[in-house]
Amino acid sequence: MPVLLVAGSQPRQLGSAAPAGAGKTAFVAAITQRLAYDGRRVLALRLGGSGDPHAAADAAFFATLPGARGRGGAPVPADSAPAEVRRLAGDGIAVVEAGASDDPIGLAAALDATTLLVYRGLPDDDAILHLQEQALALEARFLGVALAAVPERAVASVRSLMDDAALPLIAAVPEDRVLYAPTIGEIAEQLDAELLLGDEAEGEVIENLMIGPVSSDPGQPYYAREGNKAIITRSDKTDLQLAALQTDTACLILTGGLSPSPYTLDRASNEEIAVMLTRAPTRDAVSRLEDIFLRSRFGSERKLERMAELLRDRLDYEAITAALT
């Protein structure tokens, strides 16, 4: 049973977890999907226990991928990983995401896994040294490095950087707004908001957030500046809400806690636009969403589609399939 272990490689203090959003989940999902579409028997699994806050969500997302089976979306405890991965994957391929605090060296040995190390951003000298140390420790189990969220200015030169460091580059994905955009569900959770319309759209990605204008101008030209957006506006500003609904708006975020006008709800329902209501005033709502693009998790069909697009000509797929043969 071939195993591909995808582990984070962000340098960190002893005993501290790797930063969220390193890109492991995105690579696991995209590689698993591509293997499945090529007719390979493959299963994506997420390691992690109760101390890993993202393990359950990642595992549930993996359960939606083609050919998913096994634990029904539950994470696999790291201490029982060798036996569980073997049992669940059978004679197929297992693509396994390591938990944030797992030791990739020991885990790779326990699973006898080919290992892909994921680093977010452009690695500096310390990060390169850390990657080289891990590669040496992994020995023959080391496949290479995948880089996520590489600054656009560095994408063209990153291969030579990795070549100079004698580190095989399996993929380098540039920064991309869709991959780090929040979903409607994440926004509602952050604002402790009630979804009045659009429960079925919780997984829809929101690429832009806009604040409704303060003036009495209906604001339609202003709203038309951005597409695929959520508009943050007061729940009693019906004129601004209706103006927003005439543009490419995916969600209305109504602040202040007052029930919106039936005209707004009727128009939003006809246009299939989500509407959420939060008790927070506009300023507080904006403050709560300031860093949501940095904390959004990978776990939607739209993000998987985008990751597959970005990897189409950037992934050394032959190196992966050769290692898993």
45 has a pLDDT exceeding 80 = yes
List the domain range (segments joined by +) for residue 261.
184-295
pLDDT tens-place string over residues 5-24: 999 987 654 334 444 466 99
What are the distances in angstroms from CA 26 to CA 126, 135, 185, 307? Answer: 24, 22, 19, 7
Number of domains in the chain: 2
Compute the distance between CA of residue 272 and CA of residue 268 in angstroms, rounded to an integer: 6
**Does 70 have pLDDT greater than 80?**
no
Residues 21 and 102 in one domain: yes
User: Per-residue pLDDT averaged across 252-261, rounded?
Assistant: 96
pTM of the entire predicted model: 0.87
Q: Is the pLDDT of residue 72 over 70?
A: no
pLDDT, tens only, 278-315: 999 999 999 999 989 888 889 888 999 999 999 999 99
The two tokens of residue 287 are 């403050």
The verdict on 45 and 128 lying in the same domain is: yes
Closest CA to 1 of 141, 107, 95: 95
More confident residue, 271 or 10: 271
**Do 306 and 290 share a domain, yes or no?**
no
Q: Are residues 9 and 148 in the same domain?
A: yes
Confidence of residue 215 (pLDDT cuts 50, 70, 90): low
Q: From CA 33, how far away is CA 35, in angstroms rounded?
A: 5
Residue-averaged pLDDT of the chain: 90
Say which residue, 213 or 4, is predicted with more confidence: 4
- DSSP H helices, 139-214, are 158-164, 184-191
Domain containing 24 — which CATH number? 3.40.50.300
Are 302 and 205 in the same domain? no
Identify the helix (H) or strand (E) that includes residue 116: strand 114-120
**What CA–CA distance (Å, rounded) separates 299 from 295?**
12
Residue 221 and residue 148 share a domain: no
**Co-location of 16 and 109 in the same domain:** yes
Quote the pLDDT of residue 14. 37
Q: In 10 A of CB 48, how many CB atoms?
A: 23
Token pair of 306, please? 């985008």
Q: Where residue 207 sits, what CATH number does that domain have?
A: 3.40.1390.20
Amino acid at 19: P
Mean pLDDT value of segment 38-64: 88
One domain, residues 231 and 303: no
Helix (H, G, I), strand (E, B) or coil at 320: helix
Evaluated on CA atoms 16, 20, 25, 30, the torsion sign reads: negative
In angstroms, the CA 212 to CA 244 distance is: 8
Q: List the one residue out of 310, 322, 301 whose CA is nearest residue 35.
A: 322
Q: Give the chain's largest Cα–Cα span.
A: 66
Q: Both 153 and 224 in a single domain?
A: no
Quick check: 162 and 316 in contact, CB under 8 A?
no
Q: What tens digit of pLDDT does each residue of 85-125 get?
A: 999 888 899 999 998 888 999 999 999 999 999 999 999 99
Q: How far apart are CA 21 and CA 19, in angstroms?
A: 7
Q: Which amino acid is at 77?
A: P
Name the amino acid, one letter, at 116: L
3 state DSSP class of 286: helix
**261 plus 307 within the same structural domain:** no
Distances in Å between the Cα of 27 and the Cα atoms of 101, 267, 303 are 18, 39, 11
How much of the chain exceeds pLDDT 90, in percent?
71
Tokens in use for 200?
């079925």
Q: Are residues 280 and 302 in the same domain?
A: no
Q: Are residues 193 and 309 in the same domain?
A: no
Predicted local confidence at residue 19, as pLDDT: 45
Exposure letters 109-143 (e unless 16+ CB within 10 A, then b): bbbebbbbbbbbbbbeeebbebbeebbebbeebbb
